[in-house]
Amino acid sequence: MSDQFDLVVIGGGPGGYSAALYGASAGLKVALVEKDALGGTCLNRGCIPAKAFLETAAVKRHVDHSSDFGIDTAGDATVDFARTQQRKQGIVDGLVKGIGAMCKGRKVEVLNGVGSLGANRAVSVAMADGSSATITGDSVILATGSVPRLIPNFERGGPIMTSDEVLDLDHVPARVAVIGGGAIGCEFASTFADLGSKVTILEGLPKILPGLDADVAKVVQKTFKKKKIDIRTGVMVNGHTPDADGGTTVHFGDGDSVEVDAVVVSVGRRPFADQLGLDGTGVVVDERGFVAVDEYCRTGEPGVYAVGDLINTPQLAHVGYAEAILVVKHLLGESPMPVMYDRVPWAIYCHPEVAWAGPDEEQARAAGHDVVVAKHPFKFNSRAQILGETEGLVKIIAKKRPDGGAGQVLGVHMVGPWVTEQLSGGYLAVNWEASVDEVAEFLQPHPSLSELFGETALSLTGRNFNG
């Protein structure tokens, strides 16, 4: 193995492996250091396995309502969660293998171990087999990701789980408490409710999904109540009392409690710079654990960059991809545009799904914009009715023109069936600073869910054909 590379990447998650592969495609000699499995948290303990469980939940939901489509089943559908786990793991293993094959095909040197950065871009690697190596890069990218945040009095073990442990469950708990009503918490709440669990969400803030457009959040909350999810907001958890059967009683608020079989602690993630070393470097880690970078993801150490959850940008895999491309272009001496974080696409995969790009109505007004807003519900969309998924809406926020009409599209916010797959049109409209007139010119296939985006844009032109 060589000890000198054009690029050394520490961390094999979305930001890390995409930087390695993209750099290799540009002709760089690349080394990638990963202490666990390639793909990082997203692939192994996050996005992918969680969405596999959500799909199992969706299948059960469809089976439970199959009589609506004229298909009768004998009794309620049962869930063999061991088989669900096997399916999930098969998907994960296949994707991990695929990343490894791509690295091999592009001659990326993969080192299985813990990488720590020292002076002069020297990376010491404590290999998993007990050996060690030192390699040096003309450039180094730090991409060690994040880990779940913990809270006092809820140590992992037994019925207490983070997003890491819950993905290894071998059964569906009868009663689940989810601590935290953000995106990850709501995805788990939705999953377990659809799989038949009695679910309680405990959120310290006044509402779940804080920061979501108010109209979108109302739809999610309404649907969650239909699933009989008990949403407790404005409460703080105080601790828990385990019982003899393996469950526990969670204490919260002013003397309230709930008896459950499992607790999912979902209060966000913290950057993981714990094993990076950094002695003798100019890399700065702030009080919250984030590595400080500029708009090109450069740290305070020449030739050293940081991407992904390790820096204080949206904790999204696709943001890590974008930062990886930005960094490789920059170190190659090209002139890339910094990532526009206020316009990245967001997606929450609970049922109903949520997706958006650009500011919501409140944020747009707070930024000083005079806006025009249109929102249309899915209940009148033919494809949504065919699918039996009519909860939700599409909302477009546009700048108000001097004549009072709608101009540039500022934000597109969606909630409903498959909106995570529909957002691309809205994302492009926001990022291309398109006007509603321009968006309305584009045809949407009929019948389709995406028609609703086109019709909402059309309504902002002052004319429409469906109300």
Dihedral of CA 186/187/190/195: which sign? Answer: negative
Q: Which of 318, 305, 291 is nearest to 14 (CA)?
A: 318
CA distance 376 to 328: 42
- Single-letter amino acid code for the residue at 269: R
Q: Which of 398, 450, 453, 393 is nearest to 214 (CA)?
A: 393
- Tell me the β-bridge partners of 116: 124
Place of tokens 């500011």: 359
Contact status, residue 260 vs residue 202, Cβ threshold 8 Å: no
Q: Which of 266, 268, 263, 239 is nearest to 252 (CA)?
A: 239
Q: Which two tokens stand for residue 149?
A: 């945040």
CA distance 288 to 285: 8
Per 3-state DSSP, what percentage of the chain is helix, strand, and coil (rounded to 5)?
A: 35, 25, 40
What is the greatest pairwise CA distance in the chain?
71
Catalytic residue (one of 171, 240, 318, 446): 446
The DSSP string of 131-144 is -EEEEEEEEEEE--
Q: 104: number of CA atoms within 13 Å, CB side?
A: 7
Contact status, residue 412 vs residue 396, Cβ threshold 8 Å: yes
- Whether residue 446 lies in the annotated active site: yes
Return the active site residues.
Answer: 446
